[in-house]
A and B are shown apart, each in its own frame.
Chain A
Amino acid sequence: MSAPVATPTTPAPDAVNAAAPWGAGMRSLVGTVWPATVVAVVGLVLWELVVTVFQIQKFLIPKPSAVLAAFVEFFPQILEGLRKTGYVAVTGLVAGVLIAVLMALICTRFRPLASALTPLAAALAATPIVALAPVFFKWFGQVEPTAKQAVVAVVVLFPVFVSTSKGLLQVQPVHLELMRTYAVGGWRVLREVRVPNALPYFFTSLKVAASLSVIAAIVAEYFGGEQGTLGGIITQSAGLSRYDRAWAAVLAAAVLGMALYALVLLLERFALRNSTPPSTAA
């Protein structure tokens, strides 16, 4: 679990380096994106060449061009799959995150509860999702997306709970003593000290959770539920030896995961635009 280490404020010598404006942020984003793009393009070309030159069987690894062709051919189905899987991933993510944050807040406020809930959350995280998915389908039925949403929620709950709790608890002792000299109680301390301190930790875990949510949704879809989801397309295509179509659906899932990640990144930039030194706001 990577969480930002509480960085002591490095005093700049009378510096006036205002937070980077959004324009500059976008420019630096482009600057970091292009080397990765070059590597990806070179990698795809090499992949295509290797599969062609060595005549690798297409059920082992299809050519990128074949995957792309399948992507275009089945675009309407894939789009529908993206919609269904995206819905499960996002709603499950939101539910899991809300529960995790609520748990973290309650545990921070009523400390004895933390010792009861933390091992429980850890046990939940150690439980393989594979063991849960069929059970959830039994509980919530195959037709409704509830079972899959529950799987996603359980998977994202732990990292968000652990990180957020850490951020809520690891506050500077001097801040707590100041609040004591102001003679204010626990809820104000939570609002003025703990919650702002936890925000960077929360967003770090949210980025992990966003990627996890898509993975969890697709794995849950392998076990049943509605047809036409990305997970459904992958299992069905693999069953019919249409590996190009399976790979096209995997590509769509990757795009979905990256889109969610990017969304969280934007949210984080917005939420922390003024609250942390530029070096830790990355």
Chain B
Amino acid sequence: MTAAISVTGVDMVFNPGRRNEVTALTGIDLAVADGELVSLIGPSGCGKSTLLRLVGDLETPTNGSIEVNGKSARQARLDHDYGMAFQSAGLFDWRTVSANVELPLELLGWETARRRERSRELLQLVHLEDFAGHRPWELSGGMQQRVAIARALAMKPGILLMDEPFGALDEMTREHMQTELVRIKAETGATVVFVTHSVPEAVFLSNRVVVMSPRPGRIANVVDVALGERGDATRVDDRFFAAVTAVRSALRGSAAPMATAPGMEVAVE
């Protein structure tokens, strides 16, 4: 397995040397394999969003190195190697749904016809093909988030970085979106790093759940989740509950009782 993302010895200190200095991350080592879906989970202030933003080159680490597809994070950003989705959909009100999806392609200089075609494909992928001509404010929160995901996929990035994209959605919509993401990931083969603070969400989506702890932010545990193909049945599967329990205990800091749970194993870094 080749690593799509490898983070080595990363520290992140905000406002170094000043009174409001904050150590957001210390000694982070993480490798994400090609095609893997890894969740980052932890309490507020554990630096999970910061870690994602470092990988996406929205921040620069104080120490350590980050490689994306064998390049620096910055080069990967310049090469459009990843698409990003945030907690707020961040659609542009002055553009139609289709024009929102086309924006990254427009910036790349694609011709109109090609852009339209690609946007049509992507809206089909997120089941919003009937809303291409609508304005973002005419859509529900879940639909807006699906448009944002379609937009993140526009440049066919190998890597999707998602920062609590379903955090503002209600439980029903959220579960639906999770199922959609699993399907989209399977269809595109993308590598996904997914930040969340929902344990069931992390378990349902991921091959591995990276459990982080705060002050200073570090990786406390990595829980492997082997649930096979995900579907609605997964949510009531005993192995799903066992994995949820395993992540919960890891979050609480006791790694002991998890070894017996079937279907997953815990690797303590």
Tell whether A177 pairs with B139 under 8 Å between CB atoms, given A182-B104, A182-B107, A184-B107: no
CB contacts under 8 Å to A, within B210-257, are: none
Which of A13, A19, A174, A193 is B86 in contact with, Cβ under 8 Å? A174
Tell whether A274 pairs with B84 under 8 Å between CB atoms, given A182-B107, A188-B107, A192-B103: no
Binds A, one of B15-23, B37-45, B130-138: B130-138
Residue A115 at the B interface, CB < 8 A? no
Q: How far is the CB of A279 from the nearest CB of chain B, in Å?
A: 9
Tell whether A174 pairs with B88 under 8 Å between CB atoms, given A9-B144, A274-B94: yes
Interface string of B78-113 (1 = CB under 8 A from A): 101011101010111110000000011001000000
Residue A1 at the B interface, CB < 8 A? no
How many B residues, CB 8 Å from partner? 28
Give Cα A181–Cα B86 distance, bound, in whole angstroms.
Answer: 12
Q: What chain B residues lie within 8 Å of A180 (beta carbons)?
A: 58, 77
Tell whether A276 pairs with B58 under 8 Å between CB atoms, given A13-B140, A177-B84, A182-B80: no
Give Cα A12–Cα B142 distance, bound, in whole angstroms.
Answer: 11
Chain A, interface SS category: loop
Residue B61 at the A interface, CB < 8 A? no
| Contact across chains for A181 and B139 when beta carbons are under 8 A apart | no
CB contacts under 8 Å to A, within B140-154, are: 140-141, 143-144
| Contact across chains for A172 and B140 when beta carbons are under 8 A apart | no
Closest to B130 in A: A16
Give Cα A196–Cα B134 distance, bound, in whole angstroms.
Answer: 18
Interface string of A71-98 (1 = CB under 8 A from B): 0000000000000000000000000000
| Contact across chains for B94 and A196 when beta carbons are under 8 A apart | yes
| Contact across chains for A181 and B84 when beta carbons are under 8 A apart | yes
CB contacts under 8 Å to B, within A181-234, are: 181-184, 188, 192-193, 196, 199
Give Cα A277–Cα B134 distance, bound, in whole angstroms.
Answer: 12
| Contact across chains for B143 and A9 when beta carbons are under 8 A apart | no
Which of A11, A12, A196 is B92 in contact with, Cβ under 8 Å? A196
Q: What chain A residues lie within 8 Å of B104 (beta carbons)?
A: 182
Further pairs besides A182-B103, A192-B103: 20, Cβ < 8 Å: A11-B137, A11-B139, A11-B140, A11-B143, A14-B140, A15-B138, A16-B134, A18-B138, A172-B88, A178-B90, A181-B56, A181-B82, A181-B83, A182-B80, A182-B104, A183-B77, A188-B107, A192-B107, A196-B92, A277-B135
Chain B interface residues (CB < 8 Å from chain A) = 56, 58, 77-78, 80, 82-84, 86, 88, 90-94, 103-104, 107, 134-141, 143-144
Chain A interface residues (CB < 8 Å from chain B) = 9-19, 172, 174-175, 177-178, 180-184, 188, 192-193, 196, 199, 274-277
